[in-house]
């Protein structure tokens, strides 16, 4: 049986990474002696603790609240500022980007331009989301970035970034480790975070850390695609983007300008950054680690953790001490009863408007919490669907390899990979069943709370022009079209948070969607919107919609289409 170390209310299963700010673990929470769930658990270096990290608990909690359930960050963040100081969130099997880069160097596995662009795209969108929420990171590095074995990218330490940046003057060792990824002069907060993204992108392309500021222009001029094991220079369109990120060229003034430039590189060039490509790289680099971790996690779920529970009586005082205070306790209870009686009479006779307002706020908070749970459940189902698609692609690929194998050894290896993939597919099916049950539970809860289980449909809006266009004739090119438009779902309190002048207004969000040749939406760009809550609801609905791909020379082709979501007026 595996052994575990207790840390706070968690059991440490495996140490996953040692980073300049501390360590990252796979941890377990238990209910009684039974497994509950897996978590990421981050501890912090003595240097950071002595610099005063624990004193910033309220600031970190505010960042956690703002991030909510946004994709690209840890789920269900929890920061504990006691002893020990911990950051905890939902666990996703994978490795940090620093480990990916290190293993790529050691094993000389090519890291292609597509892989670098996949990470760049995900990190850039995460940074933009943070700034939309009024947050900044400030200390982003490959140690902050987690790559799942399924190819997804997330910023693990997002709630802590700004606090760690503020503490760097008191943490010289950490400051030195982050130096290649930080721009401290002539840049606003957004440009500083883009600089960090650019420094990571440079390392993904060259396998070299970015040099100090004055040496950056020369390093860019002589940089080659070393990570991809190519001797050629970095392609011009990518190099120009990199220069602007690193503020060698004209820095980006804001997110719209940056998004437009990134889109041209991603979709107009000869690149195909996909989660599947990244998943295949992770499978190549960490196959043994992935298999061992999956087996260990199964053992965790079946283990009995009784021996790791605190001994009976560990909390509270000794029986004699409790007995000696019994009389005092009874007297105190009696006094409280008298106070409660008088307080109850007063409450019944003079309930104030302020108390009524507090009750209303409490109801609103419960509704908002329910809405967050519902959105998280839907997001989990969507993530499982994406993972199932990636597993299906891997199964097809290795199935083809098994059929075309010319030696018994090659065929056996392909069959082994197929078996691993099929086991993962079964696990995803189990997770899907659990997620569906959770959605059903929330639907039942909605009935008891008198909350509609499905979103209220907004007033009919004009259909997107792309959906009304007649089918193209033979040989004609066409843009993608909407076959089923998703319904946006927003928190009920979102409209109440609008300025008074807008609370009775019609809210519209215009956006454009990039659809690939398979009819799958890959990217959504807000053209004209409202508050972040309405924009996010429209973006999620666009990604949940279904599409028919465009055509070019009679064949399916990728392309953009415009959409608009009309949230109507409040009823």
Nearest alpha-carbon partner for 443 in 369, 377, 387, 503? 377
pLDDT confidence of residue 353: 46
pLDDT confidence of residue 570: 53
The answer to whether position 430 is within a domain reads yes
Domain range holding 34? 5-93
Tokens 């892989």 belong to which residue?
115
pLDDT confidence of residue 339: 53
The answer to whether position 295 is within a domain reads no
Is the same domain home to 149 and 35? Answer: no
Is the same domain home to 244 and 391? Answer: no
Is the same domain home to 175 and 141? Answer: yes
Q: How far apart are CA 326 and CA 334, in angstroms?
A: 12
pLDDT confidence of residue 456: 36
Is the same domain home to 35 and 116? Answer: no
Is the same domain home to 486 and 523? Answer: yes
Q: How far apart are CA 84 and CA 523, in angstroms?
A: 41
The answer to whether position 170 is within a domain reads yes
Q: Could you give the number of structural domains in the chain?
A: 4
Locate 532 and state its tokens: 């972040």
The answer to whether position 395 is within a domain reads yes
pLDDT confidence of residue 244: 94
Total residue length of the chain: 571
Total Cβ atoms within 10 A of residue 219: 17
Neighbour-count burial of 59, counting CB atoms closer than 10 A to its CB (0-12 exposed, 13-18 middle, 19+ buried): middle
The answer to whether position 484 is within a domain reads yes
Is the same domain home to 73 and 180? Answer: no
Q: How far apart are CA 181 and CA 460, in angstroms?
A: 48
Phi/psi for 526 (5° steps) reads -75, 125
The answer to whether position 330 is within a domain reads no
Is the same domain home to 247 and 261? Answer: yes
Is the same domain home to 212 and 127? Answer: yes
> Is there a contact between 201 and 153 (Cβ–Cβ < 8 Å)?
no
Domain C-terminal end among 261, 288, 315 = 288
The answer to whether position 427 is within a domain reads yes
Nearest alpha-carbon partner for 294 in 194, 197, 428, 389? 428
CATH number for position 207? 1.10.510.10
pLDDT confidence of residue 454: 39
The answer to whether position 459 is within a domain reads no
pLDDT confidence of residue 91: 96
CATH number for position 60? 3.30.200.20
Domain C-terminal end among 288, 316, 348 = 288
Is the same domain home to 117 and 84? Answer: no
Q: What is the pTM of this model?
A: 0.61
pLDDT confidence of residue 443: 63
Is the same domain home to 214 and 112? Answer: yes
Is the same domain home to 440 and 401? Answer: yes
Residues of the chain with pLDDT under 50: 314-331, 333, 337-338, 345-346, 348-353, 356-357, 360, 447, 449-471, 571
Q: How far apart are CA 231 and CA 234, in angstroms?
A: 9
Is the same domain home to 135 and 270? Answer: yes
| Tens of pLDDT, residues 179-191 | 999 986 788 999 9
Domain C-terminal end among 93, 120, 153 = 93
Q: How far apart are CA 301 and CA 15, in angstroms?
A: 18
């Amino acid at each position: 049986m595996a052994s575990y170390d207790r840390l706070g209310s968690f059991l440490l299963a495996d140490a996953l990474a040692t980073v300049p700010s501390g360590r990252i673990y796979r941890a377990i929470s238990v209910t009684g002696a039974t497994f509950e769930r897996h978590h990421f658990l981050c501890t912090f270096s003595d240097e950071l603790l002595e610099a005063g990290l624990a004193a910033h608990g309220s600031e970190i909690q505010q960042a956690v609240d703002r991030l909510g359930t946004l994709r690209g960050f840890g789920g269900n963040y929890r920061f504990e500022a006691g002893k020990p100081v911990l950051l905890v969130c939902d666990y996703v099997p994978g490795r940090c980007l620093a480990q990916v880069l290190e293993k790529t160097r050691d094993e000389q596995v090519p890291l292609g331009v597509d892989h670098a662009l996949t990470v760049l795209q995900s990190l850039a969108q995460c940074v933009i989301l943070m700034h939309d929420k009024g947050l900044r990171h400030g200390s982003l590095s490959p140690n902050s970035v987690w790559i799942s074995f399924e190819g997804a990218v997330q910023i693990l330490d997002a709630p802590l970034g700004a606090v760690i940046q503020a503490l760097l003057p008191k943490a010289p060792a950490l400051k030195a480790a982050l130096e290649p990824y930080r721009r401290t002069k002539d840049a606003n907060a957004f440009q500083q975070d883009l600089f960090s993204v650019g420094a990571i992108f440079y390392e993904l392309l060259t396998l070299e850390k970015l040099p100090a500021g004055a040496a950056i222009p020369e390093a860019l001029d002589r940089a080659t695609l070393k990570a991809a094991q190519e001797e050629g220079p970095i392609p011009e369109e990518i190099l120009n983007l990199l220069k602007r990120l690193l503020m060698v060229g004209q820095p980006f003034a804001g997110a719209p300008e940056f998004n437009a430039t990134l889109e041209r590189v991603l979709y107009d060039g000869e690149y195909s950054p996909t989660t599947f490509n990244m998943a295949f790289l992770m499978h190549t680099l960490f196959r043994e680690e992935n298999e061992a971790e999956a087996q260990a996690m199964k053992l965790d779920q079946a283990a009995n953790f009784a021996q790791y529970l605190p001994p009976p009586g560990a909390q509270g005082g000794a029986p004699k001490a409790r007995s000696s205070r019994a009389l005092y306790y009874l007297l105190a209870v009696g006094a409280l009863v008298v106070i409660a009686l008088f307080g109850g009479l007063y409450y019944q006779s003079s309930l104030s408007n302020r108390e009524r307002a507090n009750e209303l706020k409490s109801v609103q908070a419960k509704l908002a919490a329910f809405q967050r749970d519902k959105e998280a459940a839907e997001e989990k189902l969507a993530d499982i669907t994406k993972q199932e698609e990636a597993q299906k692609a891997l199964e097809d690929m290795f199935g083809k390899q098994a059929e075309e194998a010319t030696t018994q050894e090659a065929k056996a290896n392909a069959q082994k990979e197929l078996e691993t993939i099929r086991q993962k597919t079964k696990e995803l099916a189990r997770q899907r069943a659990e997620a569906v049950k959770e959605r059903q539970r929330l639907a039942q809860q909605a009935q008891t709370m008198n909350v509609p289980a499905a979103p209220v449909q907004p007033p009919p809006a004009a259909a997107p022009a792309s959906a009304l266009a007649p089918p193209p004739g033979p040989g004609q090119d066409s843009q993608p079209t909407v076959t089923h438009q998703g319904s946006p779902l927003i928190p009920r309190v979102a409209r109440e948070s609008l300025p008074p002048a807008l609370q009775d207004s019609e809210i519209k969000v215009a956006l454009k969607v990039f659809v690939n040749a398979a009819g799958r939406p890959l990217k959504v760009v807000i053209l004209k919107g409202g508050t972040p809550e309405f924009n996010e609801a429209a973006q999620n609905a666009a990604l949940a919609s279904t599409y028919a791909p465009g055509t070019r020379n009679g064949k399916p082709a990728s392309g953009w289409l415009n959409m608009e979501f009309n949230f109507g007026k409040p009823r």
